[in-house]
Amino acid sequence: MNDLLFAQNDLRAGLEATARKLSEDLHGWNPDELLALPEADVVDHLVAAHSVECPRLRMDEAHLLPVSEEAQTIEDRFFGDRVTRRVTLLTLVVPYDGERVIFSTRASTSSFNPPQATVADGELRLTWMGQDADAAAVRTHFDHELDEIEKHLSWCQGDIDQHNRTIRATTPDLVAQRRAKLLRDRELEAGLGFPVRRRSDAANYSVPVRRRRITPSSPPRPKASGPFRPEPVLADADYEAALAVLRNSRNALERSPSMTAKLNEEQIRDLLLVNLNAQFEGKAGGEVFNGRARQTS
């Protein structure tokens, strides 16, 4: 009636498969969603999803089911006669927390005589059958089986602890490497940069460049509250063109001191932004940086 525990599958092999599944789940994650989430949240989710919880017996809640009888037919090995007898059936129920599958796995340390019990979700059932039941003998039987189960669980716990420590230590690097790869791909995509049409209503400043489309070229910044968007940065050619517009605008303002004498810094900046937006499609900002972190405003 009882099943042989800790004897079917190799626990180490199962834990290795779980670690591989973590990597597969990471690489199967939607790239935009992965980039939009905080890195620590991704790590915490993967570690929690692929950590293993070894079962723990809740011995303080162990209880017996009502005693019952069962008809048992045996065959006399000498004469071949079949005899039916009634035996007493006692079942001890022990609740547990943790993963049921562990009871069927063999740890790296094991024995040739594993314990027996019936495993259900959330509880073990240990059974004793016999005649002329003696309370002390039955209790000794149950205590021995429980001690054996606890011993095998401690062996499983050692392998599981090693697995959980390993994924906690390695997952941050896996996530960082995956995000770095995705960011490099986004940077490559955003940094290609193509020239765009000059606006028909652009002012005729003597800037020796064609009007260009400003194209984002820097790595994106993940945002948990919305979809992934690259952070806009000027490509080198656009950056130099913008500087030329600013130099010409500055020179024009210096030649009209009576107009600019009463303007403060923010008002002058707004005039410069007007000139930039007149020359480039996009939205010029008051404080922006190029790839070497030189401020352009």
**pLDDT of 163-215, one tens digit each?**
999 999 999 999 999 999 999 988 887 777 643 344 565 443 333 333 333 33
d(CA 147, CA 54): 16
Task: Verify that 265 and 153 share a domain, yes or no.
Answer: no
Q: How many domains does the chain have?
A: 2
Task: Verify that 153 and 29 share a domain, yes or no.
Answer: yes
Q: What pLDDT score does 188 carry?
A: 81
Model confidence at 218, pLDDT cuts 50, 70, 90, reads very low
74 within some domain: no
- Segment 8-28, tens digit of pLDDT: 999 999 999 999 999 999 999
Task: Verify that 95 and 158 share a domain, yes or no.
Answer: yes
248 within some domain: yes
Task: Verify that 168 and 197 share a domain, yes or no.
Answer: no
Encoded amino acid at 28, one letter = G
For 103-136, b where at least 16 C-beta lie within 10 A, e where not — what string? bbbbbeebeeebbbbebeeebbbbbbeeeeeeee
d(CA 116, CA 101): 15
pLDDT averaged over every residue in the chain: 79
d(CA 156, CA 178): 32
Residues 128-147 have a mean pLDDT of 91
Q: What pLDDT score does 73 carry?
A: 74
Task: Verify that 150 and 272 share a domain, yes or no.
Answer: no
Task: Verify that 122 and 254 share a domain, yes or no.
Answer: no
Kindly tell me if the per-residue pLDDT of 233 is higher than 50: yes
Beta bridge partner(s), residue 105: 9
- Higher pLDDT among residues 25 and 131, named by residue: 25
Q: Considering all CA atoms of the chain, what is the largest pairwise distance in Å, rounded to the nearest integer? A: 128
Kindly tell me if the per-residue pLDDT of 109 is higher than 50: yes
Task: Verify that 136 and 13 share a domain, yes or no.
Answer: yes
- Segment 36-81, tens digit of pLDDT: 999 999 999 999 999 999 999 999 999 999 999 887 777 766 666 7
36, 226 Cβ separation under 8 angstroms? yes
Whole-number CA gyration radius for the chain: 37
71 within some domain: no
Task: Verify that 169 and 197 share a domain, yes or no.
Answer: no
Q: What pLDDT score does 158 carry?
A: 97
188 within some domain: no
Q: What pLDDT score does 281 carry?
A: 62
Q: What pLDDT score does 134 carry?
A: 87
Q: Which domain holds residue 174?
A: 3-63+91-181
Read off the pTM: 0.62
* Domain final position from 157, 181, 205: 181
Task: Verify that 52 and 197 share a domain, yes or no.
Answer: no
225 within some domain: yes
Task: Verify that 110 and 30 share a domain, yes or no.
Answer: yes
d(CA 193, CA 236): 10
Query: Is the CA virtual torsion 211, 275, 296, 32 positive or negative?
Result: negative
* Domain final position from 181, 203, 230: 181
Task: Verify that 254 and 210 share a domain, yes or no.
Answer: yes
What is the end-to-end Cα distance of the chain in Å, rounded?
A: 81
173 within some domain: yes
* Domain final position from 126, 146, 181: 181
26 within some domain: yes
Task: Verify that 98 and 143 share a domain, yes or no.
Answer: yes
288 within some domain: no
